[in-house]
Amino acid sequence: MLEAIGAASIDELFSSIPDELRLTRPLDLPAAMGEMELTRHVGEIASKNASVADHVCFLGGGAYDHFIPAVVDMVGSRSEFYTAYTPYQPEASQGTLQAMFEYQTLITRLTGMDVSNASLYDGATATAEAMLMALGATRRRRVVVPASLHPEYRQVLETYLANLDAELVTLPTPDGTLAPERLSDVVDDQTACVIVQHPNFFGGVEQAEVLSSIAHDAGALVVGVIDPVSLGLLQRPGDWGADIVAAEGQGLGCPMAYGGPYLGILACSEKLVRRIPGRLVGETTDRRDRRCFVLTMQTREQHIRREKATSNICTNQGLVALRASVHLALLGPHGLRELGRLCIQKANYARDRLTSNGALSAAFPMGVFKEFVVRANDGDVNGRLARARREGILAGVPLERWYPELSDCMLVAVTEKRTRAEIDRLVDVLGG
């Protein structure tokens, strides 16, 4: 190989690295292990992780411990799909294209929008891509978001805007949701879009239809950031006025998996279809008049659009999107409604019980879907969470790192998997 590339030695390949930066001793590695010993060693290391497999989980804030039926794993692990988990080339197989087409169909029905792309990386980048769509469509330079939008989504928005001539305006939400009059005071003819998370980061249900109307009256677009699980009960974003919808699809058949890979959902109205990033799969017929599927639009820089590309997103979450499709097909509309009903009932039961003994209180006076914020009346959030971990409970997410004013608060999520006994035990541990 050296001869073929015209190099005299291995050392010559590293000649561009300064001597002071090069390692001059052997790597400090332990002795090699056999397969049995290595498997045991890695297992011991992995057992140090606290996971939902051995802990009761009340964590939320964008990743949730929902039940995943076995058939989702079975279909998602089939080699025909598994070996093509990031399909984006035009020659993608018909089976992969059909799965993507059906995913798009399910997402449009779920959200009430006209068009869905074939998935993005995660909810945060989907929200940022929705923002870029709005900036391009309106040619305005201001983006308005409430503080109740996921704080890490807001960080991603700031990163996307760092070198663009655009402004991100964050509105305070002292009561946990955005007051319509506060939005009315800010939205003007320079506002490209208003981004509304519904339910929001705190679990609260926003006045989405009112907020949407205020934005539209000023000529701004509305980006709805939603939890797809909530749409079994809550109004679809397409019905309350959203022009673009972004979402994290982790709750649809995807394990928490220590943070990823997850699923970015992005859908829009038909008038914005030319601005949607990623790829769209369409249905057509071949020369023998047989039903088939094709990549209809690919507005990426690798393809014909070049400098006019709508995004540099160059892959998708095809395997996770497949899992979401199987999960949604299994649930159906009645199953999705029942899932939402269980979440809202159990979350409200947990909040009522947690705030009944004086140790904790509700931070916000609002209705919630499946998560909520409680305040430790003695201020010792971290102590209570540590005590819960010792009892095998991942009790909640402390909010201080994003909201200094909520340093005595934690976010608690309750999914359909939590039992009454587990919730009562949480109450005993946190309130005891």
Q: What is the CATH number of the domain that holds 324?
A: 3.40.640.10
Q: Are residues 181 and 154 in the same domain?
A: yes
Residue position matching structure tokens 């539209």: 216
Would you say residue 155 lies in a domain? yes
Q: Are residues 167 and 279 in the same domain?
A: yes
- The CA-based angle 191-140-114, given to 5 degrees, is 80
Q: Are residues 365 and 260 in the same domain?
A: no
Radius of gyration of the chain (CA): 24
The last residue of one of the domains, among 269, 297, 328, is 328
At residue 172, the pLDDT reads: 97
Q: Are residues 90 and 198 in the same domain?
A: yes
Residues 81 and 122: their CA atoms lie apart, in Å, by: 20
Would you say residue 5 lies in a domain? no
Q: Which domain holds residue 288?
A: 70-328
Q: Are residues 178 and 237 in the same domain?
A: yes
Q: What is the pLDDT along the chain (432 residues), one digit of tens a residue?
A: 999 999 999 989 989 999 899 888 989 998 999 999 999 999 999 989 888 989 999 999 999 999 999 999 999 999 888 776 555 555 678 888 899 999 999 999 999 999 999 899 999 999 999 999 999 999 999 999 999 999 999 999 999 999 999 999 999 999 999 999 999 999 999 999 999 999 999 999 999 999 999 999 999 999 999 999 999 999 999 999 999 999 999 999 999 998 889 999 999 999 999 899 888 899 999 999 999 998 887 655 555 556 666 665 655 688 899 999 999 999 999 999 999 999 999 999 999 999 998 899 999 998 899 999 999 999 999 999 999 999 999 999 999 999 999 999 999 999 999 999 999 999 999 986
Would you say residue 22 lies in a domain? no
Task: Please give the structure tokens belonging to residue 108.
Answer: 């449009």
Q: For residue 292, with 0-12 CB atoms within 10 Å meaning exposed, 13-18 middle and 19 or more buried, which class applies?
A: middle
Would you say residue 258 lies in a domain? yes
Q: Are residues 310 and 364 in the same domain?
A: no
Alpha-carbon dihedral of residues 333, 336, 337, 342, nearest 10 degrees?
Answer: 160
Number of domains in the chain: 2
Q: Are residues 370 and 237 in the same domain?
A: no
At residue 316, the pLDDT reads: 65
Residues 220 and 226: their CA atoms lie apart, in Å, by: 19
Residues 143 and 121: their CA atoms lie apart, in Å, by: 22
At residue 278, the pLDDT reads: 82
Q: Are residues 427 and 386 in the same domain?
A: yes
At residue 329, the pLDDT reads: 96
Q: Are residues 64 and 74 in the same domain?
A: no
The last residue of one of the domains, among 295, 328, 361, is 328
Would you say residue 91 lies in a domain? yes
Say how many CA atoms lie within 13 Å of 80 toward its Cβ.
10
Would you say residue 89 lies in a domain? yes
Q: Are residues 319 and 354 in the same domain?
A: no
Q: What does pTM read for this prediction? A: 0.90
Q: Are residues 82 and 60 in the same domain?
A: no
Residue position matching structure tokens 């076995």: 70
At residue 342, the pLDDT reads: 98
Would you say residue 409 lies in a domain? yes
CATH number at residue 364: 3.90.1150.10
The last residue of one of the domains, among 280, 311, 328, is 328
Alpha-carbon dihedral of residues 408, 414, 419, 423, nearest 10 degrees?
Answer: 10
Would you say residue 24 lies in a domain? no
Cα–Cα separations (whole angstroms), residue 41 to 14, 32, 183, 212, 322: 34, 12, 56, 55, 34
Residues 253 and 226: their CA atoms lie apart, in Å, by: 16
Q: Are residues 233 and 380 in the same domain?
A: no
